[in-house]
Chains A and B, each alone.
Chain A
C-alpha cells in the first residue's frame, strides 16, 4: 500500500509526469504534513495540546518516514505540530520529495525521463504502467463524487489536499466547486480512528496555518509591489515631462532622453525587461519549470520586471509620451503596466475585495484586459525598433 507521501507525490505530477504548477512553498507544507500523517497513521507519533511527540520510535521500514521519525525522536525540546510543519517544510521537503520519487521509481510505479535545454535540466516522472497515478486520481474523484462512506485514509488525504488548497490544481476548478459540499461533509465526519484523529486534526490545522501564513506573506509583498508598479506606471502617464536643463553643464538627463546612443541602451534595457516580464509569465505557465524557484518567486519576478520596466521607461522617455506611433506604443505599454498593477491588486487582495462585494468574475477582468492590452505591443515595439534603425 502506498503511503500518504507517495500518494501525494503521485498527485503532484500530471499525467505526463511533469510537476503541476503548484506553489513550491505549498508543496513543501503538503509533503511535511503527509509525512507526519503517515507517522500518525502508523501510530509512531501523537499530539497533545502542547506538543507533537513520538509514541513509538520503531522504524516503519520506509526510509523517508524513518528518517523524519528519528529526527523528531532526537529532539529534546517540546515542539508542537505547527513547528514541525514549519521545520520539515523548510528543511526536509526537497529531500522528502526526492526520496519519495526515488522510492516510487524503485517500486516500478514511476520511471525517469530527462530532457536537457542549454542551461536547464528537466526531469519528468511518467507512470511506468500508465495506471497507478491515473487510478489514484480517479479514486480521489470517486470519493468526492460518491455518497458512500470513504476509507479514513482517503478522508485524511482529501483533508490534506484541501488544507493545502491544492485540489483546484489537481482537478478542474469547476469540478472542485461542485465537490465543495462533499469535502466539507467529509471533514466534519468523524471517520478517522480515535487513536490518530487528534494528531491528524492537529497536523491539518498546522498545515492550514502554515500555508495561510506563507501565502499571506507573499500576497502582501506582491500586493505592495503591484500597487507600486501600477502607481508608477500611472504616474508616468500623468506626470509632466521631466524638465530639460537649460545649462550645458547640466545636460545629464537631457542626454538620457535626447542622445541617440543613450536612448539605444535604455531602449534595449526596456526591451530586455519587457521580454523578461513576459518570460516570467510563460515560465509560470510551463509546468516543466515549475520547480525553478517556485511559483511565488516567478510571480514576484513578473511584478519586479514590471516595476523595472517603469524605471527603464523613465530613463528612455523622461515622462514623454511621444507622438504618432511612438505615442501608440507608449499608451499600449503604460496600459499593460497599469492594468498589470491592477491585476496584481485583484489577485493578491482577493479577500479584501470579496469583503467589498467584488465578485471573482469581476476580479479577473483586469487580468484579462492586461493580457488583451498586450496584444498589439509586440507589433508596435518591433515597428518602433525598425523605424529607429531605418531612420
Chain B
C-alpha cells in the first residue's frame, strides 16, 4: 500500500478512535471537566461535573426534550423555594394559553429562558442571562404596560425595575404594593428590637433529668483519655440533651448498649449521618444552601459503568476503571468564588467545620466559624458594627435573648415549622436578591422603609450597616401615592 494510503487509513482510524473514546467518556464514565463549554454559575459550580443533575434527557433526545429535562431539573431543586417565595411569575401563569402572546418575547414557562448555564459572559446578577431590562418584554406595551396607569412610573427605564430595590421577578414578598402601604409608617427601629423566633429558640432548654455529666461518658478507654474532648462534651448541648459518646461515634449501636457493643461499633470520626439522624431539619436545609449543596438529594450520583451493558462485553476491571470517581461530598473553602481566608483554604464544610466536634458551641458557629473562613468586606466589617455590639451584649447577658445580631441571625435565620423552631442552614435563603431577607429577618427589628433602603445601599451593606442608608428607594412613597389616588394596588 502506498505511503499516502497508509497515512489516510491511520488518520481515519485515529479519528474514529478519538471519537469513540470521547463518546464513551461522555456517556459511560470519566472526568468531564474538559467537556465543560463555559464556567457554571456560582453555586452550580459545586456539582458541575455531575452533569446528569441538570442534563436529564435521554442520549440524543430532541432539543425540545432536552430543554424540558433541563427545566424539570431546575424545578427539582428550586420549586420549593419559589413556592415559599410566593413566586410573582409562576410557571402556571404563563402556561395559560391566554398568555401565549408573551411566549415569543420572553417565554415565562421555562426557567432556561432567563437562566442558561455555562454562559459566564451573559450571566448577570442573580444568574440572569438576558439583559436586565427584560421586564420590557411583557410590560413595555399593551395591557401590561406599567407606565400607563402609574404616573410615578412615567419616564422610568426598564433596567431600573429590579436594580432599584423596587421589584424582583420571583420574590416580592416584602415588596408588593399592599405590603409597602401597610408598613409605610414604621419607624426605622422597633421599640423592642428582638428577633422573636431567635428569642424563643434560645429560651428552649433541654430537660434537666436527661442531662449527662462528665462521669457518664461511655466510650472506649482510648477515647476517654482525651480529657479536652471529654470536658468539651460535658459542657455541650449534647451532654445537656443526654447524647452520650456512642450517639455520634457508634450511631448504629442501640441506645443503652453495653460498652463491648459500643467498642465494636466505634468510629473515631463521627459520620455525617449521625448528625443528620437527629438534626433532620438542619441537615435538610444545609443541603439546600451553598455550604452543603453537594449533599442535595437531586444531585446525580457518579456514573457506574459496571451497571451498563459494557460490563458484559468488556474484560473484568475495565468498567470499574471507566466509572466516575466518587464526586466530592463536601464543599471546600478553596473552591468558593467569593473572598475567603487563605489560611482556611484546606477546610471542608461538614457539620464539624462550624460546630466544634465536642463543644458544639452554637455561639461559636454563629459568628467565629463564619469569620474563620469568609474574608469579604461585609464579614470583615462585622466586628465593631452595631449588630456585633448587640450580639456581644446578648452574650454578656446585658440584653435580652434574640436582641443580638450574629452572622447566623441574618444568614441562617430561625424558622418555625409545625411548632418547632430550628436554624435554617440554607444560608442563601435570604440572599440574591437580598430583599428576601426583609420579612424573615430585618422586619423583626427595623421598619420596612429602612430595611429596603439599607439593603439597596451596597456600600452600607459592605460596611455591615454602620450608619443610615444613603440610598432611598421610593417604592413605599409611590405605593402610598398610588393608594391615595384611589386606584387599587393590584401589582402582586
Contact = CB atoms under 8 A, between A and B. Distances in A.
B122 A258 contact: yes
A251 B26 contact: no
Contacts of B37: 322-324, 326, 387
A325 B34 contact: yes
A320 B121 contact: yes
B199 interface: no
Interface in A317-331: 320, 322-326
Interface stretch (A106-114, A341-349, A375-383): A375-383
Contact of A258 (B19, B119, B134): B119
B161 to A, nearest CB: 11
Contact of A251 (B19, B22, B116, B131): B131
Nearest to B11: A375
Given A248-B134, A251-B130, A260 B63 contact: yes
A245 B122 CA distance: 9
Interface string B441-466: 00000000000000000000000000
Contacts of A264: 63
B15 interface: yes
A2 interface: no
Contacts of B51: 391
Most buried by B among A246, A254, A383, A387: A383
Nearest to B59: A390
A241 interface: yes
Interface string A235-276: 000000100111111110010001011001000000000000
A120 interface: no
Question: Which of B14, B33, B63, B131 has the most A CB atoms < 10 Å from its CB?
Answer: B131
A386 interface: yes
A390 B22 CA distance: 12
A325 B131 contact: no
Contacts of B60: 389-390
B122 A386 contact: no
Name which of A244, A249, A260, A390 has the most chain B CB atoms within 10 A of its CB.
A390
Main secondary structure of the interface of A (DSSP, over half): helix
B158 interface: yes
B320 to A, nearest CB: 23
Contact of A386 (B26, B67, B158, B159): B26
Contacts of B22: 383, 386
B307 interface: no
Contact of A254 (B122, B133, B136): B122
Contacts of A325: 34-35
A325 B22 CA distance: 11
A251 B122 CA distance: 11
A387 B27 CA distance: 10
A382 B19 contact: yes
A379 B14 CA distance: 9
B256 interface: no
Interface residues of B, number: 37
B131 A247 contact: yes
A326 B35 CA distance: 8
Contacts of B15: 378-379, 382
B11 A244 contact: no
Contacts of A390: 26-27, 55, 59-60
Interface in B111-133: 116, 119, 121-122, 129-133
B19 A244 contact: no
Nearest to A320: B121
B19 A386 contact: yes
Given A324-B36, A378-B15, A244 B133 contact: no
A322 B39 CA distance: 10
B380 interface: no
Contacts of B116: 258
Q: Which of A261, A387, A391 neighbours the largest number of chain B CB atoms within 10 Å of its CB? A: A391
Nearest to B119: A258
A191 to B, nearest CB: 40
Contacts of B338: none
Contacts of A251: 130-131
Nearest to A326: B37
A248 B121 contact: no
Interface in A292-325: 320, 322-325
Given A241-B121, A258-B122, A383-B19, A248 B34 contact: no
B133 A248 contact: yes
A387 B34 CA distance: 11
Given A261-B63, A383-B22, A244 B14 contact: no
A244 B34 contact: no
A246 B122 CA distance: 9
Contacts of A258: 116, 119, 122, 129
B35 A324 contact: yes
Interface in B29-59: 33-39, 51, 55, 59
A387 B14 contact: no
Contacts of A386: 19, 22-23, 26
B18 interface: yes
A247 B133 contact: yes
A217 B27 CA distance: 53
Contacts of A323: 36-39
Contacts of A391: 26, 35, 51, 55
A247 B124 CA distance: 13
A248 B130 contact: yes
B115 to A, nearest CB: 12
Interface in B100-115: 106
A248 B19 contact: no
B362 interface: no
A321 to B, nearest CB: 11
Contacts of B38: 322-323
A246 B34 contact: no
A374 to B, nearest CB: 9
Nearest to A374: B11
Interface in A338-391: 375-376, 378-379, 382-383, 386-387, 389-391
Nearest to A323: B38
A135 B482 CA distance: 103
Interface string B268-298: 0000000000000000000000000000000
Contacts of A247: 131, 133, 159
Contacts of A389: 60
A379 B11 CA distance: 10
18 contacts: A246-B131, A246-B133, A247-B131, A248-B137, A250-B131, A264-B63, A320-B121, A322-B37, A322-B38, A324-B33, A326-B37, A376-B18, A379-B15, A379-B19, A383-B18, A383-B19, A383-B23, A386-B22
Given A250-B131, A391-B26, 18 more contacts: A247-B159, A248-B131, A248-B134, A248-B136, A249-B133, A249-B136, A254-B131, A258-B119, A258-B122, A261-B63, A322-B37, A323-B38, A324-B35, A376-B18, A386-B23, A390-B59, A390-B60, A391-B55
Interface of A: 241, 244-251, 254, 258, 260-261, 264, 320, 322-326, 375-376, 378-379, 382-383, 386-387, 389-391
The 7 closest A-B pairs by CB, nearest first: A379-B18, A248-B131, A379-B15, A324-B34, A383-B22, A248-B134, A248-B133
